[in-house]
Amino acid sequence: MKLILILFTLLSPLGANASKILFLGDSLTEGYGVQKSDSYPSQLQLLLNKKGLKVVVINAGSSGSTTASGPSRLRWHLKSAPKILVLALGGNDGLRGVKLESTKINLEKTITMAKGKGIRVILGGMKLPHNYGSEYRKKFENLFQTLASKHKVLFIPFMLKDVGGINSLNLPDGIHPNEKGHKIIARNILPIIIKALEVSQ
């Protein structure tokens, strides 16, 4: 089904002329537990449409993905010729206790590949639950800011801002946003998406 949707996007008249925004992420991006149309990339598409912007949002979220999959997945999606990449990977690395250096290397490879193809990059930051220990959490969160500064890419400090940890905006698992949560995420990141589009013109 994903392949069909991507091919439809590429072959449709709109897809051929519109700026494409690729969201490379995990289950949060994919929209785990909600309808695909309720995921934040789909909600963002609606917001951009309302502003009259000719944009196609490609949801390349895949549940369980870590940063290790970033370079190979981006390479595959380059065929869609995105103008903007929203790199929203890293949450699963943190939850699984992946070495921070490995996460850093994987994200850098993905960022470097995208920039090498002339793609505008937006890096999405993540935070970890308090039970992971203050030192590890702080280093994990700082990793994203450090990479954004080093590679001079646009930065979303926390993808789950105003949603993470709020029961009414998440599924019973306390990790994945519900429909309301996804709408808030879309509204929060809309300004930086518009900024990226303006720079990419």
The residues assigned a catalytic role are 27, 173, 176
Q: Interior CA angle at 74 toward 125 and 31, to 5°?
A: 55
Task: Express the helix, strand and coil content of the chain in percent, nearest 5 each.
Answer: 55, 15, 30
| Helix H or strand E segment including 11 | helix 2-11
Name the strands in the sheet holding 55-61, side by side, starting at the edge strand that comes first in the sequence.
55-61, 19-25, 84-88, 120-124, 154-156
Query: Which pair of structure tokens corresponds to residue 74?
Result: 């981006």
